[in-house]
């Protein structure tokens, strides 16, 4: 009988030890979980802050690229009384600068005249019979397309040749 008492007395202490060890592991896991959750929260905040800063930087670069265009508009307005040719020359210079800015941003003006109509790049604003070119060919660009084909800022508004009939 003495052996049974020893066995039953030892069993609760092993169970207590195992229970205490499990509680310690649970507390450690909860601590790790809380730290990981805090790290994730800090990471999200940092990414949001950095992406906001990057967006602001990009906006400033784009805005700065338009400053020479505005400068030339100011010059054209200052010389408005110089005569029609000077005004036209100033307007052409501003247009050329604006096109250069768009091209530098990755959206060059495309010349789609004479090309086959592509609904991904063109918006048909009209059709016209044209015996000189095959049906589906762009015969007139009403509004130019800006982009390189992969990235289109605006599709071209075009008049497309239709079959005579």
> What confidence score (pLDDT) does residue 8 get?
55
In terms of Cα–Cα distance, which of 129, 163, 120, 126 is closest to 141?
126
Mean pLDDT for the chain overall = 88
d(CA 98, CA 63): 12
What's the token pair of residue 119? 């609904």
Domains of the chain: 1-105 (3.90.20), 107-165 (2.30.22.10)
**How confident is the model over 60-86, as pLDDT tens digits?**
888 788 888 878 877 777 777 777 787
> Has residue 1 got a pLDDT over 50?
no
């Amino acid at each position: 009988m003495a052996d049974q008492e020893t066995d039953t007395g030892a069993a609760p202490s092993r169970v207590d030890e195992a229970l205490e060890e499990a509680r310690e592991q649970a507390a450690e896991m909860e601590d790790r979980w809380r730290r990981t959750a805090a790290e994730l929260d800090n990471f999200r905040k940092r990414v949001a802050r950095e992406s906001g800063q990057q967006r602001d930087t990009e906006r400033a670069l784009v805005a700065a690229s338009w400053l020479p265009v505005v400068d030339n508009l100011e010059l054209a307005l200052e010389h408005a009384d110089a005569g029609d040719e000077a005004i036209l020359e100033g307007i052409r210079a501003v247009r050329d600068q604006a096109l250069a800015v768009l091209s530098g941003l990755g959206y060059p003006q495309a010349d789609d005249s004479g090309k086959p109509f592509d609904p991904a790049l063109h918006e048909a604003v009209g059709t016209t019979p044209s015996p000189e070119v095959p049906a589906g060919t762009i015969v007139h660009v009403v509004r130019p397309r800006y982009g390189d084909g992969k990235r289109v800022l605006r599709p071209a508004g075009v008049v497309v040749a239709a079959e005579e009939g």
